[in-house]
C-alpha cells in the first residue's frame, strides 16, 4: 500500500507540513520517490506516524518518542489489550483454523439472531481483528483471510433471504473506499428486513453512477469507513439525486459517524 503525504495527513490528522518537518529533522520515514517525482510512503510509515500521533496525544514528548526508534514504535504497546476470548479468536485466525472460526460464529449467530450478531458481536470482532493487525499480532494475509471468511459466512446466512424481486435499494461503499464489510453487513440487515436490495461493494465513482442511472433504484445506501470531506459527501449526494428516480441517499458507517460528529452534515 502506498500513500502520498496528503493521504497520511488525511488518515492521521497530522498536517503534511509537520510530517515533512519530522522527516527532515529525524529521517524516521522511508519514502521512495516515484518516476513522477512524488514521494510515496508505505504501510509501516503510516503505522509509525499513527503511533507517534497517539503517543503525542497521550502527552509523551516528541524527542522521547523519536528516541524509541521505529522498531519499538511499531511494536505492540501492550499485551493485555485483548481479553481471553479475543486472544482465542486471534490464535484461531493465526492458525487459519476456519472450521473453528465457523463453529464459534455459528454458535453466536444461533444465540443472538441476525441483527445483534451483526451490530454487536461481529462489528466488535472486526474492529478487534483490525486492532490486532495494527499491533502486529496478525499479518495482512491473516486479516484478509478473516475478511474473506466473513463474506462467505454471511453470504451463506443471507442465501435464503434473497428473492427475485427487482431491487429498489442499492448498497455500495463511498467510491473507492475499500472497506466493504460494513456495507455488506448493512445489506444483510436490509435483506433480513425483507427489503429487496442489491450490493455492489466498492466501485470507482464513474461505475457507481452508471449503476444508479438504472431506473430501478429508489434508495441508495453509501457506507463510509474512511472519513471524507463533508463537501465531497454533499457533492456526491447531489450528483446521485440528479437521477430523479432516486428518492433518498443514505450515508452510514464508521467514517460517516466520525464526519457527522465533527460537522453538521
Ligand atoms: C477491516 C478493516 C480494513 C480491511 C477492510 C476489509 C473489507 N473488505 O472491508 C482492510 C485490511 C482491507 C483495510 C484496509 C485499509 N484500512 Co482499514 N480498517 C478496518 C477496520 C479494522 C474495520 C473497518 C470495518 O470494516 N468497519 C465496518 C463495520 C464493522 O463497522 P461500521 O462501519 O460502523 O458499519 C456498521 C454500521 O455502521 C452499519 N453500516 C455500515 N455502512 C452503512 C451504511 C448505511 C447507509 C447505514 C444506514 C448503516 C451502515 O452496518 C455495520 C454493521 O452494523 C477499521 C478499524 C475500525 N476502528 O473501524 C480500519 C480502518 C477503518 N482502516 C483504516 C485505514 C487507514 C485503512 C487503510 C487506508 C490503511 C491501512 N490500514 O493499511 C487501508 C485502505 C487501503 C486503501 N486502498 O485505501 C483506518 C481509517 C483511519 C481514519 N481516518 O479513520 C481505520 C479506522 C484503522 C485505523 N485506526 O487506522 N482496513
- pLDDT, one tens digit per residue, over 40-71 is 998 889 889 988 998 999 899 999 999 988 88
In 208-264, where do the E strands start and end?
Answer: 219-223, 248-252
CA gap 133, 1 in Å, rounded: 15
For residue range 129-152, list pLDDT tens digits in order: 999 998 878 889 999 999 999 999
Total domain count, the chain: 3
Q: 136 is in which domain, residue-wise?
A: 79-159
Give yes or no: residues 46 and 103 share one domain.
no
Q: Say yes or no: 176 and 250 in one domain.
A: yes
| CATH, residue 61 | 1.10.1660.10
Q: Indicate the residue among 105, 129, 159 that finishes a domain.
A: 159
pLDDT tens figures, 195-238 = 999 999 999 999 999 999 988 899 999 999 999 999 999 999 99
At 65-92, the pLDDT tens digits run 999 888 888 875 555 678 889 989 998 9
Which 8-state DSSP code applies to residue 160? G
pLDDT in tens, 174-203: 998 999 999 999 999 999 999 999 999 999
Q: From the alpha carbon of 123, which atom of ligand 1 is closest?
A: 29
Compute the distance between CA of residue 163 and CA of residue 196 in angstroms, rounded to an integer: 7
Q: Which helix (H) or strand (E) holds 219?
A: strand 219-223
Query: For 71, what's the count of Cα atoms within 13 Å in the CB-facing half-sphere?
Result: 0
Q: How far is the CA of 24 from the centre of ligand 1 (A)?
A: 31
* Stated pTM of the model: 0.78
Domain CATH code at residue 97: 1.10.1240
- For residue 11, pLDDT over 90 is answered with no
Q: Residues lining ligand 1, CB < 6 A?
A: 1, 11, 43, 46, 50, 118-119, 123, 126-127, 130, 143, 147, 178-183, 185-186, 221, 223, 225-227, 250-254
List the CATH number of the domain containing 229: 3.40.50.280
**Does residue 130 share a domain with residue 220?**
no
Amino acid at each position: 500500500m502506498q500513500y502520498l503525504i496528503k493521504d497520511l495527513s488525511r488518515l492521521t490528522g497530522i498536517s503534511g507540513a509537520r510530517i515533512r518537518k519530522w522527516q527532515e529533522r529525524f529521517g524516521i520515514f522511508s519514502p521512495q520517490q516515484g518516476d513522477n517525482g512524488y514521494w510515496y510512503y508505505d504501510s509501516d510509515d503510516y503505522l509509525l506516524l499513527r503511533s507517534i500521533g497517539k503517543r503525542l496525544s497521550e502527552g509523551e514528548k516528541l524527542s522521547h518518542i523519536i528516541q524509541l526508534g521505529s522498531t519499538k514504535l511499531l511494536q505492540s504497546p501492550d499485551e493485555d489489550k485483548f481479553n481471553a476470548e479475543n486472544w482465542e479468536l486471534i490464535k484461531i485466525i493465526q492458525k487459519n483454523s476456519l472450521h473453528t472460526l465457523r463453529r464459534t460464529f455459528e454458535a453466536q449467530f444461533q444465540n443472538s439472531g441476525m441483527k445483534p450478531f451483526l451490530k454487536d458481536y461481529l462489528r466488535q470482532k472486526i474492529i478487534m481483528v483490525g486492532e490486532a493487525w495494527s499491533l502486529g499480532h496478525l499479518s495482512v494475509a491473516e486479516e484478509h483471510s478473516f475478511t474473506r471468511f466473513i463474506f462467505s459466512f454471511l453470504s451463506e446466512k443471507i442465501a435464503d433471504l434473497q428473492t427475485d424481486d427487482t431491487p429498489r435499494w442499492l448498497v455500495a461503499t463511498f467510491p473507492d473506499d475499500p472497506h466493504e464489510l460494513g456495507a455488506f453487513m448493512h445489506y444483510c440487515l436490509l435483506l433480513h428486513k425483507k427489503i429487496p436490495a442489491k450490493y455492489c461493494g466498492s466501485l470507482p465513482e464513474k461505475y457507481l453512477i452508471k449503476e444508479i442511472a438504472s431506473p430501478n433504484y429508489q434508495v441508495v445506501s453509501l457506507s463510509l469507513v474512511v472519513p471524507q470531506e463533508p463537501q465531497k459527501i454533499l457533492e456526491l449526494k447531489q450528483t446521485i439525486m440528479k437521477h430523479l428516480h432516486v428518492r433518498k441517499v443514505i450515508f452510514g458507517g464508521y467514517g460517516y459517524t466520525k464526519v457527522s460528529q465533527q460537522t453538521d452534515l
